[in-house]
Structure 1
Amino acid sequence: MLTVNAKEAQQLILTKILERNQASEYLSKFMNRSTNTSTFKRNVPVVTYDVVQPYITRISTGEDSSIISGDRIVELLRSSGTSRGEPRLMPAISEDLDRRTYLYSLLMPIMNKYVSGLGEGKAMYLLFVKAETLTNSGIPVRSVLTSYYKSPHFLHRKHDLYNNYTSPDEVILCPDSQQSMYCQLLCGLVERQHVLRLGAVFASAFLRSISFLELHWCDLVTDIRNGKLNPNVTNTKCRLAMECFLALPNPELADELEEICGCGPWKGILGRLWPNVKYIEAVLTGTMAQYIPMLEFYSGGRIPLVCTMYASSESYFGVNLRPLCKPTDVSYTILPNMAYFEFIPLEDGLRVTDDEEVVGNDKLVSLVDVKVGCYYELVVTTFSGLYRYRVGDVLQVTGFYNHAPQFKFICRRNVILSIDTDKTNEEDLHNSVTRAKKILEDRNHILLEYTSYPDTSTVPGHYVLFWEIKSTCEGVQPLDPQLLESCCVSVEESLDYIYRRCRAHDKSVGPLEIRVVEAGAFDALMDLLVSQGSSINQYKTPRCIESGLALKLLNSKVTASFFSPRDPEWTM
């Protein structure tokens, strides 16, 4: 019904937002308390976070929520903050939780159309919270997922067969992510025969947990064998909650796990540890696509990888109605009751407008008027006080479900490398790395993780890629310098014309460099950024490093460095 009546639903949402928020200081500047939707579209400007931030700061210091919303701002949601180096705070009202819960409530009915029997077992989902803070006026500041996991909407799900998790709530809500991860994995191993679903919010968090399991499986097996929890778990609520899992020693299960974890490479380990699992769920679109090969390695390529939803701190957006499609084919159907959606057409292919560039109101396209095949930048208006706000996501329309458009997530705006006149966005970087990593895969290596930064300490400056590489064969496999140099060449050949011209003709950009880092370097980077305020649940490896501490950390982990041996082809 929602998608059939998408246009009417969007009109109703905008009308309600204007009726409830007409008296706000922000809207009154442009609409003089009018609730006319045409006046809104004509007068209210398209804005970026720089415009919104002063209002949020005023609310955080004690001013009334009415400066942006007709409802009380009950919390400020901290974005992941890893795309551009610093977190952003998004206003939220109490009923936003209802909207998020509505979207979550659709996921399992959709999955149940494709996979049967999901209510007969449990899910080992690795979910984490981040310790929250308070503003000077007492408003909680936390991640959107922490907000949800601490809410009654999540905690009062006891009779929901489809959300029966292996881990107790006390373990999920443990603020120490290492202790929480240890206990969640322990619960999942104890319940291994009952687990039908594996997952995390982002693929990076799931793989981080598997990496943690590789390091600590001996301790986990010892706990199961002895029926006693490792003393390194010091959180009181965690220890109490785990008592029922380790009430008795279980040497038989310990022997099974020891045999599985101790026998050679971990290729296909997930299916051996959890033999009844039907799929792995995580976000695998956008830059998360980088993790697909590693997930396929651990799953042996036999467990479907599923992406179910599209959401952010600003708003929840939509669901994947074909969850068993290939991750590269995922499209999300936008739900027209989540917020009021508009779109900035990207008329020059993927040329994304800069933050500073003014976008005229006449440029915006409504939800139901987007065109299949075209690229757009997402703009949202919400009940909580965001009006024509540029989220920063670039999407491509792939089709329609009834009258609601379906979008493929392409990239985040303004994550770029630049030395001279070259500008490399996140999508270009990801595509070039994806092409180059196939050279590694042909030689029994997998690219686990990567990031980049523009090194201007040299003359000319040059692009640096940090790569963490894993061998798929037993034993230590030394890296062939020619192999990595070929990867450098492949990356450069895949970048755009302006970069290649700067490299080969103008000589204003130096040869691209790949710095190989030791195992665990990107886990250490994650620890650093989480310690600075990012949420482990929402963490995404930044594709361009700007932080001095992060750069210093990665450079300290470098084991070898390789440069492109020749100029790329550049002529048109």
Structure 2
Amino acid sequence: MAAILCEDASQSMYAQMLCGLCQRHDVLRVGAVFAAALVRAIRFLQLNWAQLAADIEAGELNPSVTDPSVREAVAVILRPDAELAEFIRTECSRGDWTGIVTRVWPKTKCLNVVVTGVMAQYNPTLQYYSGGLPIVSGMYASSECFFGLNLRPLCGPSEVSYTIMPNTAYFEFLPVGEAVDASNLVELARVEDGREYEVVVTTYAGLNRYRVGDILCVTGFHNAAPQFRFVRRQNVLLSIEADKTDEAELQRAVERASALLLRQHSRASVAEFTSRACTLHVPGHYVIYWELLTKSGDTVDGETLGRCCLEMEEALSAVYRQGRVTDGSIGPLEIRVVRPGTFEEVMDLAVSCGTSIGQYKLPRCVTLPCMVELLDSRVVSSHFSPALPHWTLAP
């Protein structure tokens, strides 16, 4: 509890990881609220395993952990263990992090983490780190209220639907595509199978008809309770002119480009991404920041990354492609590869500005000047789409 309440995110993570290593044979599941946080925790181990092993060998926390309550709580668990320290050094110094979760915590049965919506892009990374453990997305919740449960926790990540719990709040739904008006709101019992809605909540805490901003699709019913699949956030992310690219469309484009990257370079994958619309020059263009996960320090050639740019453009809307091909109002899409650890720095920046680390979600479009400046300062290579995407005028 002391580690959870610690205000310093780095000290909190260090203490939890250290205790998890000391009790590694007692761990049955590994998880976090969102997939991004779990990936961050594993990368934290990648960066700090040497110091963690040294502390375990000595049986004492290093001076960098200064919070008195954390030091006192960890002292109850931490004991000198040279054998465990050597095990950690052996496993983590190999450079191969495939299945690291089950290698370090051998009794782990599943990963307990939300992987729906934009978090779905972490599935390949989590599969890589866990060695193929089941990924359980057990619940759907937000800062506003608790929404529902996944009644089939062992289903595949792409099949996850949540059954709304009608006693946690008063739920209403605004059909996607209709005017934002109270008269268009649909009660929970009257939603239609297969239709998309924006969820609106009235909570016990005092929110009245609050638009959460989540778009859900009705996938069926459990008895009379509707079941929903999370589709996307409501807001448009990217726009240069008439084009409007939302979160789900950007996610699909990145997934398509990631598949191409995997085919061309089997030892590389997209670990994290975000975007922005760059209008410093005319015409403006989309900038996609990629942090790559490669094995054994491999690099990806510029030609392959250029093809990934074009693959993303092919996956974007007809309006975007028309702007690229016919109107010339949108410039070639650009992928900027940032150095490893950049998105951890982005998270640290967000937390320093007041964001809760437990609720943190990487913005899929960055607009804050300080975040843009940070990302641009970590760019190691830049690549543009080498050709125009396909577009024809519909007959």
Q: Which amino acid aligns with 2:159?
A: D
Q: Which amino acid aligns with 1:323?
A: P
Shift of 1:362: 2.7
Conserved in 1, the CA contact under 8 Å of 2:270 and 2:291? Answer: yes
1:245 aligns with 2:77: yes
2:2 to 158, 166, 170: 170
Conserved in 1, the CA contact under 8 Å of 2:176 and 2:198? Answer: yes
Shift of 1:226: 1.1
Other structure's SS at 2:65 match: coil
Shift of 1:196: 0.4
Q: Which amino acid aligns with 2:154?
A: L
Matches within 5 A, 1:127-166: none
1:269 aligns with 2:100: yes
Name 1:402's counterpart in structure 2.
Answer: 223
Larger RCO: 1 or 2 (CA < 8 Å, sep 6+):
1
1:289 to 103, 107, 120: 120
Conserved in 1, the CA contact under 8 Å of 2:236 and 2:244? Answer: no
Name 1:80's counterpart in structure 2.
Answer: none
TM-score (norm 2): 0.97
**After superposition, what is the alpha-carbon deviation per residue over 1:433-487, rounded to whole angstroms, capped at 9, x for unaligned?**
111101122212110100000000011000000000111x32x322211110111
Identity %: 52
Shift of 1:543: 0.4
Return the alpha-carbon distance in structure 2 between the equivalents of residues 523 and 415 of structure 1: 25
Matches within 5 A, 1:489-504: 489-504=310-325
Shift of 1:415: 3.8
Return the index of the structure with the highest Cα Rg. 1
2:365 to 539, 544, 551: 544
Return the alpha-carbon distance in structure 2 between the equivalents of residues 499 and 219 of structure 1: 49
Shift of 1:371: 1.3
2:254 to 433, 454, 457: 433
Q: Which amino acid aligns with 1:445?
A: A
Other structure's SS at 1:266 match: coil
**After superposition, what is the alpha-carbon deviation per residue over 1:296-317, rounded to whole angstroms, capped at 9, x for unaligned?**
111122x111101111111111
Stretches of structure 2 lacking an aligned partner (at least 5 in a row) = none
Other structure's SS at 1:213 match: helix
Other structure's SS at 2:208 match: coil
2:278 to 455, 458, 464: 455
Shift of 1:342: 0.9
Name 2:339's counterpart in structure 1.
Answer: 518
Return the alpha-carbon distance in structure 2 between the equivalents of residues 480 and 432 of structure 1: 20
Name 2:16's counterpart in structure 1.
Answer: 184
**After superposition, what is the alpha-carbon deviation per residue over 1:467-510, rounded to whole angstroms, capped at 9, x for unaligned?**
00111x32x32221111011111100000111111111111010
Shift of 1:328: 1.1
Shift of 1:383: 2.5
Shift of 1:384: 2.6
Shift of 1:207: 0.9
Return the alpha-carbon distance in structure 2 between the equivalents of residues 270 and 491 of structure 1: 32
Conserved in 1, the CA contact under 8 Å of 2:53 and 2:89? Answer: yes
1:305 to 135, 144, 150: 135
Other structure's SS at 1:416 match: strand
Q: Which amino acid aligns with 1:287?
A: V
Matches within 5 A, 1:95-134: none
Shift of 1:264: 2.9
Return the alpha-carbon distance in structure 1 between the equivalents of residues 42 and 181 of structure 2: 47
Return the alpha-carbon distance in structure 2 between the equivalents of residues 478 and 214 of structure 1: 19
TM-score (norm 1): 0.67
Name 2:293's counterpart in structure 1.
Answer: 470
Shift of 1:361: 2.7
Shift of 1:390: 1.3
Shift of 1:385: 2.3
Conserved in 2, the CA contact under 8 Å of 1:377 and 1:390? Answer: yes
Q: Which amino acid aligns with 1:212?
A: F
Name 1:256's counterpart in structure 2.
Answer: 87
Stretches of structure 1 lacking an aligned partner (at least 5 in a row) = 1-168, 348-352
2:306 to 485, 491, 494: 485
Return the alpha-carbon distance in structure 1 between the equivalents of residues 375 and 231 of structure 2: 27
Matches within 5 A, 1:211-226: 211-226=43-58
Return the alpha-carbon distance in structure 2 between the equivalents of residues 479 and 263 of structure 1: 22
Number of residue pairs the alignment of both structures matches: 391
1:338 to 128, 145, 168: 168
Q: Which amino acid aligns with 1:564?
A: S
Shift of 1:522: 0.7
Return the alpha-carbon distance in structure 1 between the equivalents of residues 144 and 76 of structure 2: 39
1:322 to 152, 157, 165: 152
2:355 to 534, 545, 555: 534
Shift of 1:368: 1.4
